[in-house]
Chain A
Amino acid sequence: MTLVALQDVTKSVLLADDSRLEILRGISLEVGAGDHVSIVGRSGSGKSTLLNILGMLDAPTSGTVSFEGREVRRMRSGRLDRLRGDNVGFVFQQFNLLPGRTALDNVMMPLGHARGSLFWNRRRIAGDMLERVGLGHRIDQVADRLSGGEQQRVAIARALVRKPVLILADEPTGALDIDTGASVMALLDEVATETEAALVTITHDLHVAARARRHYRLDGGVLAPADLDRAFEASTLAAPVPSPAVEVAT
């Protein structure tokens, strides 16, 4: 079942000199339930813009974005916000945790926008999710005072706490060292697999991208399937890539 579908999506912005900058050109992409997709590309290639459109945070200049078969453009703002809150979880490169709040407060935040039992039981659900990401002993710690890896784990817990069907990770290891990044990605993969959520990861790290089942490259605003083996061969940082299955088991 297709969760989110992009059809001939373009995105351009008007610059100060009245010229138009084309960021995305004719992108078509379908992400299904439980899918793991990676998109690699150089800085400035439009990866984040694509992720924002996938997450319904941004609207394309042309083309259509559909979520579970419903065209997003036709939805009213409030409904779109609720749809996003119910179905999409974001993991940002810079974590974007709420400053001054505890880990628990941060993970509770999305549940505060939910309804019913999710809202009323938000403290317990958030606590359980922090336990799940290995931070059960840090729930009352102010998020700013956690290490980078711990902050990203809080961000992952926050992204997953409403059990979204789509997880969008924008350079999730960009601010972490290699080892911490690997453990964070392993956790993200594991939890996404567990909850059968689709995971779209945007990265410029080939090792991170290699964890996905489908790989794309965004270059000059054009999205094309990527051959990671060739990319690894070309990379001076080439190294054996552990298979996702093995990584999940560890």
Chain B
Amino acid sequence: MTGLLGALADAWAEIRVHKLRVLLSLIGIAVSVAALTAVVAFSEYQRQYQTEQSDRWGGRAATLVIGVANDDGTPVDVDEFDERFTRATERFEFSHTARVAQGLMLPVQLPDGVVEVNARLLDPGYSQIHREKLLDGRWPRDADIEALAPPVVITEALWDRLGRVPLAQHPTVALRGQAGGTYQVIGIVPRQGFGDEELRVDLLYDAYRARVDALPEGAFPQYEVWVGPDEVDAIAPVLAMDLRAGLPAGQSVSVSRSDWAVQPGAADAMATFEMITGAIAAVILGLGALSLVNIQLVAMRQRVREIGVRRAFGATSGRVFVSVLLESLVATTVAGVIGIAIVVAVLRSDWVVPAMFSGMQDVPPFPMRAAFTGLVASIIVGAIAGFVPALVALRVKVIDAIRF
């Protein structure tokens, strides 16, 4: 016990006495540990960002998509299947369901004329299933179905074309055609990247159907259910059986998962990203370790007499070995902790993560895995960088060292 504490005290004293040399030699280690920690942390943020992006397209894990079609290609009686789906939803007590119909084009009155824009018909639950984020405003609620001026959510590009009137001023948009009327703009979907100029309007499925008897040709609804990832495998086949029971002849129902978690390549892509960036950080760390070994070896040559004196006063060769090893270990651990602290401070600031992962909704806390990886890496580097000089110190002959 006293041996280890003594060795630790010797190591700390050596670091304290040679502050400048130690500081200079450890800058590289601190930077490379910080790089490694940052890479792992970025990987976690990237994972969350990709998850959210995937959720926007395919729904959160696990989202079931139910499609219905007639075998002969004729349109399905949507209202009849709506009832069937609603009954099933009640039986299964699903908390999050939505209908979505895409592929519609609606004429919208813009200041420069009427323009056909993309449209989606949605239920309120869609925004939660797909983790949709708005630039401003809100998504429609169930109560909005009864509104005289039904609410719509429009894309930022369309908002620009309408004059970018602030939502506080209750802007409206005029639709022409069968669903014609005045709609209140209650939310703005942000651009999904540079150059996103899509003109689109999202309106409530029921609000549209209240004005238009049937969906236009080519547009058909999909039904989405968000269930727990642990339950999906059990629920999906039962739900499919339930929905298929008593279907009219010639009609078929498909139940499949659309979320990212079911895609086989999703996890691999993130692992590859982490592996490549981690390898780069490891190379940097290796170079830092090499320079540390070099500095320690040169320092060891200058400390031969000191080691001899210590041996003369009772230090065993094991004690000298452990002291020299601990010098490196303590120093790199301190450097690693500093590097990790810098990364934590930077990544927890309000500007780095939001700037790098624009649009991320649920910014995760700083991943402990990253801090742990950085700490372990700094300890390993310290052990490796200290081992070689410690071996050199071990081979010092007391008699030669004192004469040195």
Residue numbers of A with Cβ under 8 A of B are 48, 52, 55, 57-58, 77-78, 81-82, 84-86, 89-90, 92, 96, 98-101, 105, 109-110, 112-116, 119-120, 158, 162
**Min distance, Cβ A141 to any Cβ of chain B, angstroms:** 14
A188 and B396 alpha carbons, distance in the complex (Å): 30
Interface string of B7-21 (1 = CB under 8 A from A): 001100100011000
Collect the chain B residues with CB atoms within 8 Å of residue A86's CB: 314
Which of B2, B9, B398 is the one whose CB lies under 8 Å from A115? B2
Q: Cα distance A235–B319 when bound, in Å?
A: 47
- The segment out of B157-165, B167-175, B189-197, B303-311 that lies at the interface is B303-311
Contacts of B3 in A (CB 8 A): 115
Q: How far is the CA of A58 from the CA of B311 in the complex (A)?
A: 12
The winner among B10, B309, B313, B319 for most chain A CB atoms within 10 A is B313
22 residue pairs bridging A and B, Cβ less than 8 Å apart: A57-B312, A57-B398, A57-B399, A77-B316, A78-B316, A78-B317, A78-B318, A81-B316, A89-B313, A90-B312, A96-B305, A98-B309, A101-B17, A105-B13, A109-B313, A110-B314, A113-B315, A113-B316, A113-B319, A114-B314, A120-B2, A162-B313
- Shortest C-beta distance, A51 to chain B (Å), equals 10
| B313 & A90 in contact (Cβ 8 Å cutoff) | yes
Q: Does B103 contact A (CB under 8 A)?
A: no
Whether A100 pairs with B6 at a CB distance below 8 angstroms is no
Contact string against A for B residues 309-341, beta-carbon threshold 8 Å, 1 for contact and 0 otherwise: 111111111110000000000000000000000
B297 on the interface (CB 8 Å rule)? no
Complex Cα–Cα for A162 and B309 (A)? 15
- A55–B399 Cα distance when bound, in Å, is 11
Is the pair A52, B399 in contact by a Cβ cutoff of 8 Å?
yes
In the bound complex, do residue B9 and residue A112 qualify as a contact, i.e. CB atoms below 8 Å apart? yes
Could you count the A-B residue pairs with CB atoms below 8 Å apart for me: how many are there? 74
Q: How far is the CA of A77 from the CA of B321 in the complex (A)?
A: 14
Tell me, yes or no, whether B134 is within 8 Å of chain A by CB: no
In whole angstroms, what is the CA distance A112 to B3 when docked?
Answer: 8
Query: Other CB < 8 Å A-B pairs besides A81-B311, A109-B309, A119-B5, 17 of them?
Result: A48-B403, A52-B399, A57-B312, A57-B399, A58-B398, A81-B316, A85-B315, A86-B314, A96-B305, A96-B309, A98-B306, A101-B13, A101-B17, A110-B314, A113-B316, A113-B319, A158-B313
Q: Top 6 closest A-B pairs, CB basis?
A: A85-B314, A113-B314, A110-B313, A100-B17, A81-B316, A112-B6
Task: Tell me, yes or no, whether B295 is within 8 Å of chain A by CB.
Answer: no
A218 CB → nearest B CB, Å: 18
Given A81-B311, A100-B17, A119-B2, the answer on whether A58 and B399 have CB atoms closer than 8 Å is: yes
Query: In the complex, are the beta carbons of A85 and B402 less than 8 A apart?
Result: no
Question: Nearest Cβ distance between residue B62 and chain A, in whole angstroms?
Answer: 61
Contact A119:B317 (CB < 8 A) given known A57-B312, A100-B18: no
Most chain A CB inside 10 Å of its own CB: which residue of B9, B312, B314: B314
Nearest CB of B to A61, in Å: 13
Residues of A within 8 A of B403 (CB): 48
Residue of B nearest to A100 (CB): B17
For A99, list chain B residues within 8 Å (CB): 306
Task: Output the least CB separation between A242 and chain B (Å).
Answer: 31
User: How far apart sit A100 and B308, CA to CA, in the bound complex (Å)?
Assistant: 16
- B310 touches which of A100, A109, A119 (Cβ 8 Å): A109
Q: What's the tally of chain B residues with a CB closer than 8 Å to chain A?
A: 27
CA distance A114 to B13 in the complex (A): 17
The docked-state distance in angstroms from the alpha carbon of A219 to that of B3 is 42
Q: How far is the CA of A90 from the CA of B312 in the complex (A)?
A: 8
Given contacts A77-B317, A81-B317, A112-B6, whether A55 and B17 have CB atoms under 8 Å apart is no
Task: Give the distance in Å from the alpha carbon of A105 to the alpha carbon of B10 in the complex.
Answer: 10
Chain A hits for B402, CB < 8 A: 52, 57, 92, 96
A55 — which chain B residues lie within 8 A by C-beta?
Answer: 312
Which A residues are CB-close (under 8 A) to B310?
109, 113
Which residues of the partner chain A approach B6 to less than 8 Å between Cβ atoms? Answer: 112-113, 119
CB contacts under 8 Å to A, within B265-321, are 305-306, 308-319
In the complex the two chains form, what is the Cα distance from A225 to B13 in whole Å?
45
Q: Which residues of B contact A105 (CB under 8 A)?
A: 13
Most buried by A among B305, B309, B312: B312
Q: Select the residue from B5, B309, B399 with max chain A CB neighbours within 10 A.
A: B309
Taking the nearest CB of chain A, how far is it from the CB of B130, in angstroms? Answer: 65
Inside 8 A of A119's CB, which chain B residues have their CB? Answer: 2, 5-6
Q: How far is the CA of A96 from the CA of B9 in the complex (A)?
A: 20
Q: How far is the CB of A153 from chain B (nearest CB, A)?
A: 17
The 8 Å CB contact of B2, one of A96, A100, A116, A158, is A116
- Residues from chain A with a CB closer than 8 A to the CB of B315 are 81, 85, 113
Residues on A with beta carbons closer than 8 Å to the beta carbon of B2? 114-116, 119-120
Contact A112 B10, beta carbon cutoff 8 Å? yes
Partner of B313, one of A58, A100, A113, A120: A113
